[in-house]
Copies of this chain bind each other. A is one copy, B any other.
Amino acid sequence: MSEQAHFLRREKEAVTIQRRKVQGEAGSSVEPLQLGKRVREIRLGRNLTLEEASNLTGLARSTLSKIENEQISPTFTAMTKLANGLGIDIPQLFSPAIPETQASGRRDITRKGQGKLHPTATYDHELLAAELSGKRMIPYRATIRARTFEDYPDWVRHEGEEFMLVLSGKVCLFTEFYQPVELEEGDSAYYDAAMGHVVTSLSDEDATILWVTA
């Protein structure tokens, strides 16, 4: 159902790619949630063949085909395999499909170092995508000053979930109920933000972190 991504397509290859969609409309009205359609989108989005998807999920090629064509209603077991194998977000499969027409279109690009700044005592916050309001996620880059160990703050707590990725340096993540962990460049963490949390620097240089809050 996706349109074709015409623009940057290079001639001969282009044709190849156009051919992908247009499977039977298969208007199975039984399931208002077009599970199969979505699974297919996800698989194709990852450029996988049924064969490859089969290997990843442990489900038979034919089974996948039938799921995608809405010929069967997969079991919980099958769906779990799907989710684990393809990295599918299950909740999404249970929500109503997005009408094509509703394709809205907000976009905001933030260049390196061009975010909106919020300097504070220990962290520096650089808000990304600050132009867009009403976002589901709030991304920002934080700079953790070197060795702020002694005077780091109390637990931070707030609604939602938080993801962080260490971009440089070495930090220590403290979260309530868990052991502190050291995180280096490339390491990431995901946690409930209602749980107390705090990050401190462990390196001689400042550490930078990408943070996304939902």
Contact = CB atoms under 8 A, between A and B. Distances in A.
A12 to B, nearest CB: 9
Nearest to A130: B87
A17 interface: yes
**Copies of this chain present:** 2
A186 to B, nearest CB: 3
Contacts of A112: 184-187
A94 B122 contact: no
Contacts of A16: 151, 154-155
B188 A109 contact: yes
Interface in A119-160: 120-123, 125, 127-130, 132-140, 149-160
Contacts of A20: 153-154, 174-180
A181 to B, nearest CB: 6
Given A5-B152, A212-B212, A214-B136, A159 B103 contact: no
A103 B181 CA distance: 19
Given A47-B120, A120-B4, A154-B21, A92 B160 contact: yes
A91 to B, nearest CB: 4
Interface string A167-199: 100001111111111011111111110111010
Interface in A1-60: 1-11, 13-14, 16-17, 20-23, 25-26, 30-31, 33, 35, 38, 41-42, 44-48, 52, 56
A2 B157 CA distance: 7
A196 B103 contact: yes
A188 B129 contact: yes
Nearest to A154: B2
Closest 10 CB pairs of A and B: A112-B186, A105-B195, A129-B190, A47-B121, A107-B191, A6-B153, A136-B214, A73-B77, A73-B75, A10-B151
16 contacts: A1-B160, A4-B155, A5-B174, A21-B176, A22-B179, A41-B158, A45-B156, A46-B118, A73-B75, A109-B187, A109-B189, A111-B187, A112-B185, A128-B163, A135-B161, A137-B161
